Amino acid sequence: MQLGNLIDFEVEGEDGRFLPRLRSLSHLGFEWMYDRNRLMLWHNFIQKFEPHLKDADELDPFYFDLLLDAAKRWHLQNPKRIVCESYIRLLDFEGRLYPEEHCYICEGRIEEEIALMQAFKPAHPYCIYAAALPTKKILDFFKSKKTVFLEDHEVDILFDTVMKGF
């Protein structure tokens, strides 16, 4: 199977509305498609769009532009950072960003350490038994939509949260 076809297939979904534009995307032939690790990460990333968008009546160009922007940068930096930065833009676009300093579970104030649930909902690390991240850095990331001030191991935690689903 050709790499381009693999990408098409993964985003086709049940009705294929996402397909035509993504097919043109894959035909641009990004060089990272021959990098096994980057291709696998791309595959994992776009797979999350299918269940998320399959019930949408109309697909806003935002999603295509977001993926095109990600694809253009995919070979330039750690793709996990691109996933996190793309996802935070998606949450913001969909009005699902909770830049709160209160825990989604217990509603108590979050102090120095924060943990993120699915959809990056803030919580106390002990309320969701999840890895602790520095609150200030995470709230800055929510504002700037950039991971530049986050360490790689912090990005790994955010990436794993994104991979739980949009």
Q: Which of 40, 56, 59, 106 binds Zn ion (CB under 5 A)?
A: 106
Tell me, by CB under 5 A, how many residues bind Zn ion. Answer: 6
Please tell me whether residue 127 binds Zn ion under the rule CB under 5 A: yes
Please tell me whether residue 114 binds Zn ion under the rule CB under 5 A: no
Q: Which stretch binds Zn ion (CB under 5 A): 101-109, 114-122, 145-153, 156-164?
A: 101-109
Q: Which of 67, 87, 124, 158 binds Zn ion (CB under 5 A)?
A: 124
Q: Which two tokens stand for residue 92?
A: 């913001």
Q: Which stretch binds Zn ion (CB under 5 A): 45-53, 55-63, 77-85, 122-130?
A: 122-130
* 108 closest CA partner among 98, 119, 122: 122
d(CA 98, CA 120) in angstroms, rounded, equals 8
Question: Hey, is 101 helix, strand or coil?
Answer: coil
* 33 closest CA partner among 63, 71, 59: 71
Please tell me whether residue 103 binds Zn ion under the rule CB under 5 A: yes
Q: Which stretch binds Zn ion (CB under 5 A): 21-29, 49-57, 106-114, 155-163?
A: 106-114
Rg (CA), the chain: 17
Q: Which of 19, 53, 105, 163 binds Zn ion (CB under 5 A)?
A: 105
Angle at 13 (CA atoms; ends 8, 15), nearest 5 degrees: 110
Strand intervals (E) in 16-73: none
Please tell me whether residue 68 binds Zn ion under the rule CB under 5 A: no
| Site residues, Zn ion (CB under 5 A) | 103, 105-106, 108, 124, 127
